[in-house]
Structure 1
Amino acid sequence: SYKHSADQVVTAQAVVVSSAISDNNPELIKAHELNIPTVPRAEMLAEIMRFRFGIAVAGTHGKTTTT
C-alpha cells in the first residue's frame, strides 16, 4: 500500500492534487513549504490532452461490451 511521505516531493517540479487529498496531507504540506507548484488533477488532465484527441464512452448500458 502507498504511504504518503513529505520526502517524496522534495525533488518534484510540480505536485498534482486530487480533490480526495486533504489539506493536512504531508506531501501537500511539504510542497507548499518548498514553493513547489500544486496543480489540480482536472487541470493537469486538460493540459495533457490539449494537443490530443480523446474518446469517452459514457452512459448507463453497454460500456463493458465496447472494445
Structure 2
Amino acid sequence: MAVPKKRTSKSKSRSRKANWKNKTTISSQKAISLAKSLLTGKPNSFIYLRNSDYNNNSNPEVDVKN
C-alpha cells in the first residue's frame, strides 16, 4: 500500500478543497440555469422534443425518454 512520504500542508489541502467546491458550484449553477430556461420555454443550450412534437415527428431515429 502506498504511503505519502511527507504530510500535505494545510494550504495545499485547503486549496484542493476550494477547487473541488468551486467545480460543484459552477455545475450546480449551470443545472439551475438550464432548468430555468426549460421552465420558461426558451431553451438555448438544450434541444429536446415535447411529447406532441414527438408524436407528430415521423423520424424513427430520434429517441426520447419520458
**Alignment TM class, shorter chain as reference:** under 0.3
Instruction: Give the structure-2-normalised TM-score.
Output: 0.23
Hey, which of these two has a bigger chunk of helix by percent?
A: 2
Higher relative contact order (CA 8 A, sep 6+): 1
TM-score by length of 1: 0.23
Choose between structure 1 and 2: higher strand proportion: 1
Query: Which structure: larger Rg?
Result: 2
